[in-house]
Structure 1
């Protein structure tokens, strides 16, 4: 019988046990990632969600709010306050699309583009903090991505 299937005093138990939850392992790893990211991003004045928005824009400027939300799996009610804050910080602009006023386009400012230079150190710091090789992390990421896709498919 696995250790996790025993009560503290050694007698069998039918669980559930937190140590058996893959979701908790991923959740707690996410919290640990955030603790590593926090001081790195604080130097740039960004939160982790703001950093993710900036990364999406650094990958491809001039995106729609909907397009950013789709990439980050965020709805507009969560994304809009992030964008407003980043706009207030001078990193991006938001403007209605000239062809369709329902669409809001997001573009980096020169300050937002320049922030990328400061952010270049972040991935290396995160890699070092994981204690894993790049190949190990890519393999893990691939497995987690497959898990996410399977869960999304199961949820409809």
Structure 2
């Protein structure tokens, strides 16, 4: 039996999904040594970015910002708490709600992380305006996909 004729539309290199997936993997690899220097994983870094924007938010808030399920964040947040970077407390108004606050140590990490965007821009060899345009295009794509669901 001869192999089925290959359909160009199904070639891996012709897939937008693979281009985005593989690019995300490479970007995470570029971040890895930066994040290791401050003791964070990439998912922890994303959570800390949200907290650095606005301290005193709920698990639901951070879940919405990261487009993830609140239950999947719990182990990550427990680890950040164990490392002394955040506190997790039940809301006095509604004990089902968990509020997150940065510790002094968590706030101090922000200063170290402030150099990361410039490091990423240098690794990509693009100007700030080029990176912002690319980010805007990717966000527009994400929004279209979200609306299609």
| TM-score, normalised relative to structure 1 | 0.89
CA distance in 1, matches of 2:128, 2:16: 22
Give the CA RMSD over aligned residues. Answer: 1.1
Distance 2:106 2:146 in 1: 33
Q: Does structure 1 residue 40 correspond to structure 2 residue 34?
A: yes
Query: Which residue is 1:64 aligned to?
Result: 58
Shift of 1:122: 0.9
State the alpha-carbon separation in 2 of the partners of residues 22 and 142 from structure 1. Answer: 17
Residue number among 47, 52, 74 corresponding to 1:53 in the alignment: 47
- Report the 3-state secondary structure (helix = DSSP H, G, I; strand = E; otherwise coil) of the residue aligned with 2:117: helix
Instruction: Report how far residue 93 of structure 1 moved.
Output: 0.1
User: Shift of the alpha carbon at 1:134?
Assistant: 1.1
- Residues matched between the structures, number: 144
**Structure 2 gaps, min length 5:** none
Residue 79 of structure 2 is matched in structure 1 by 85
Structure 1 unaligned blocks of 5 or more: 1-11
2:90 equivalent to 1:96: yes
TM-score by length of 2: 0.93
Larger radius of gyration: 1
User: How far apart are residue 13 of structure 1 and its match?
Assistant: 4.8
User: For 1:13 and 1:27, how far apart are their aligned partners in 2?
Assistant: 22
What SS is found at the alignment partner of 2:40?
Answer: coil
Structure 2 residue 17 is matched with structure 1 residue 26: no
